[in-house]
Structure 1
Amino acid sequence: MAQIDYYFATISPYTYLAGMRLEAIAKRYGASITYKPLDIVGLFGRTGGQAPKDRHESRQAYRLIDMQRQAAKLGMPLNPRPMFFPTNPAPSSYAVIAAQAAGGGDVGVLVHGLTRACWAEEKNIAEDDVIRAALVAAGFDPALADRGLLAGAETYAANLEEAVSRGVFGAPFYITGEQKFWGQDRLEDLDLHLAGKL
């Protein structure tokens, strides 16, 4: 059975635009997913990237256009300039880490719910009530938002270190075996790889 390590950021628009396609691919091939939320700005700093606000204006402008094109192509609602971006991604990431450890719900639904809250619903994913609502919608105990904060912080930091060591430089990023796939627009390639066609 294939194993997919999924590195992502809860504030990443492209993680949002990945939707639930990774989960559908994994189900098709009986693959398991390990969700690894990380500090995307920290990752950029460690791997030669820049936070969107620090990029040249031409890159910032293209990013907005590309996000809107991708959303239109996928039929997904998206506000390219959400009210609560950037925000602190750590609390929502800790909730994902706690939920994955606890089990009993759907981590993919949780991740998509959090990213959708930011990029389509004008909600602040650093706020407890938003995180709790996403946990409930994904079938988890909302109290997970308050549990395991130290373990969450440690895992969140460890995910960043692991990502850097494995050649991850953006989000979403998928690794299965020795194969790496960067971006929601490479999910088709991941699918073909798992099918033995790429």
Structure 2
Amino acid sequence: MGRTDLVHYHFLQSPWSYLGFDRLMEIATRHGVTVRHIPLLPSDIFPATGGAPLNKRHPSRQSYRLLELERWSREFNLPLVLHPRHFPVDDRLAASCVIAARDMEVAVDGLVRTLLAAVWVEELDLADPDVLSMLIGKAGLNATEVLAKAQDRSTEKTLAEDTEAAIALGVFGAPTYVLDGERFWGQDRLDTLDKALSAR
């Protein structure tokens, strides 16, 4: 049997990506699988796949989203601010930092979790380079090196390529977990992902 490929497509400003992150990593660790973290931008994914940004959705959808967020945060005993001060913001640089760290071949698990929690727990601004520098350091990485690489044209190209590849796979929202080519959309599909890994 070949090496298992588990990809975590996420939006850094997705509360669902935040809510699912710890469970994803626990499942992956238990199965001895490495997770490849690929950040995407809803502003790129939604127009290409028929989605709508939050402020364009019907009020009934928006209110139900809040109800579900409260339920899931209670279910997993995870803190979550329903209306964070800095949401939404332009998180292209933050996503580029994850790509930069990944391409520098350093572990990015901690960075992804730190950035997700920064929005939904700490209410920090992912568009602020100074905030990003602090968060990168908090994750144990070299902020100067990561930010420099994040602003390189090659990283911008990688983000575009990752987006094209995700759309080609059928990714339309976050989080989406792709196990050896099979998609699992949403943190509420993690139990199904766990079973799929157990069957391998």
Q: Same fold (TM over 0.5)?
A: yes
SS in 2 for 1:171: coil
Aligned length: 196
Partner residue, 2:72: 70
For 1:171, give the aligned amino acid.
A
Partner residue, 2:195: 192
Partner residue, 1:83: 85
Partner residue, 1:8: 10
For 1:96 and 1:109, the matched residues in 2 are separated by: 10
Aligned-pair CA distance for 1:129:
2.1
For 2:148 and 2:90, the matched residues in 1 are separated by: 16
Q: How does 1:99-114 map to 2 (within 5 A)?
A: 99-104=101-106, 106-114=107-115
Aligned-pair CA distance for 1:19:
2.7
Quick one: which of 176, 181, 185 aligns to 2:184? Answer: 181
| Percent identity for Structure 1 against Structure 2 | 35
Mark the runs of 5 or more structure 2 residues left unpaired by the alignment: none
Quick one: which of 84, 92, 101 aligns to 2:94? Answer: 92
Partner residue, 2:173: 170
**What is the TM-score normalised by the length of structure 1?**
0.93
Larger CA deviation: 70-79 vs 54-63: 70-79
How far does the alpha carbon of each residue in 1:85-141 deviate from its partner, in whole angstroms, 9 at most, with x for none?
A: 11011011010001111234x312111111111111111011112212221222211
Mark the runs of 5 or more structure 1 residues left unpaired by the alignment: none
In the alignment, is the contact (CA less than 8 A) between 1:15 and 1:172 conserved in 2?
yes
In the alignment, is the contact (CA less than 8 A) between 1:9 and 1:89 conserved in 2?
no
For 2:63 and 2:138, the matched residues in 1 are separated by: 34
Aligned-pair CA distance for 1:148:
4.0
For 2:5 and 2:172, the matched residues in 1 are separated by: 20
Q: How does 1:28-177 map to 2 (within 5 A)?
A: 28-104=30-106, 106-143=107-144, 144-149=146-151, 150-177=153-180
Aligned-pair CA distance for 1:178:
3.0
**What is the TM-score normalised by the length of structure 2?**
0.93
Moved over 6 A (4+): none
Larger CA deviation: 46-55 vs 140-149: 140-149
For 1:14, give the aligned amino acid.
W
In the alignment, is the contact (CA less than 8 A) between 2:90 and 2:127 conserved in 1?
yes
RMSD: 1.4
